[in-house]
Amino acid sequence: MKLLAGNSNHTLAQAVANHLDLPLTKAQVKRFADNEVWVTIDENVRGEDVFVLQSTSYPANDHLMELLICIDALKRASARRITAVMPYFGYARQDRKTGGRTPISAKLVANLITRAGADRVLTMDLHSGQIQGFFDIPTDNLLAAPLMAQDIKENYEKPSELMIVSPDVGGVVRALAVASRLNADLAIVDKRRTGPGKSEVANIIGDVVGRRLIMFDDIADSAGTLCSAAKSLIDAGAVEVSAYVTHGVLSGAATERVKNSVLKELVITDSIEASEQVLGETKIRTVTCAPLVGEAIRRIANEESVSKLFD
């Protein structure tokens, strides 16, 4: 098999390659003067099982086009099977019509990837599970819960005495997966969204008084929701609040917002390449998902079960 990396996350791609003891495929992913994407595969891929690692993070449209053109180049170079490895699937939050005359962009992106020639998709912690049904090709959705639960065990004393918190009703299943692995209690923040990136806490379900809390979510973009939820939990009597988030988008003033919040720490994975601002913030810590992604790639290449990774 071969592993090809786009420009979205070279650090993760190299870590996955190291885990697999496999060199990255030689390729050029560049731009013309007018910013058109130009791709050349510099080694033979005929009959190969090729995995293209590319998160569609900021700038989302550029990285999406890179992925599509890489897939097309591999298809025309007679690769046997092409798997789009997208640790972070952009546009995932646009998975339904939220009002009249609005798109379902996640479905459109799924169509683009399929039409470009991908035979399979490998991603991690989709914003909603039904996005797997948007693809007409096999789709594996890796879960970060075991990764996060292991990190909590290693960095927190008496993890069973912690309380795991879902920052909204929609993330209960995700938070419950972590809580069950730690044998910890679960609380839920009843959040009402007032606009894109804006929300307010209406209620807290569960007794958080005197408890050490860990919020668990899939995406932190502006981090406003996360920080306001943490403040509400402290106001409700919690001793301390930390947060574990799979995809640290952290756009705009998010890093500054986390720094000035009541959060003890924010732990993210490297599904999105961290900016210098994120790397320089002591409150934000990164856990690598390279072994998880690498092992899933190995299992797919060897036609082994991926779901057994989470048993």
> Residue 168 annotated as binding?
yes
Find out whether 281 is annotated in a ligand binding site.
no
Does residue 144 have a known ligand-binding role?
no
Q: Determine if residue 225 is labeled as part of a ligand binding site.
A: yes
Task: Quote the CA–CA distance of 266 and 264 in Å, as a whole number.
Answer: 7
Residue 217 annotated as binding?
A: yes
The answer to whether 49 is a known ligand-binding residue is no
**191: annotated active-site residue:** yes
**Residue 192 annotated in ligand binding:** no
User: 193 labelled as ligand-binding?
Assistant: yes
Report whether 94 belongs to an annotated binding site. Answer: yes
93 is in an annotated binding site: yes
- Report strand pairing: 240-248 vs 212-220: parallel
* Active-site position among 191, 198, 231, 283: 191
Q: Is 61 annotated as a binding residue?
A: no
Tell me whether residue 285 is annotated as binding.
no
Residue ranges at the known binding site for Mg(2+): 127, 168
Residue ranges at the known binding site: 34-36, 93-94, 127, 168, 193, 217, 221-225
Q: Which residues are catalytic?
A: 191
Residue ranges at the known binding site for D-ribose 5-phosphate: 193, 217, 221-225
Residue ranges at the known binding site for ATP: 34-36, 93-94
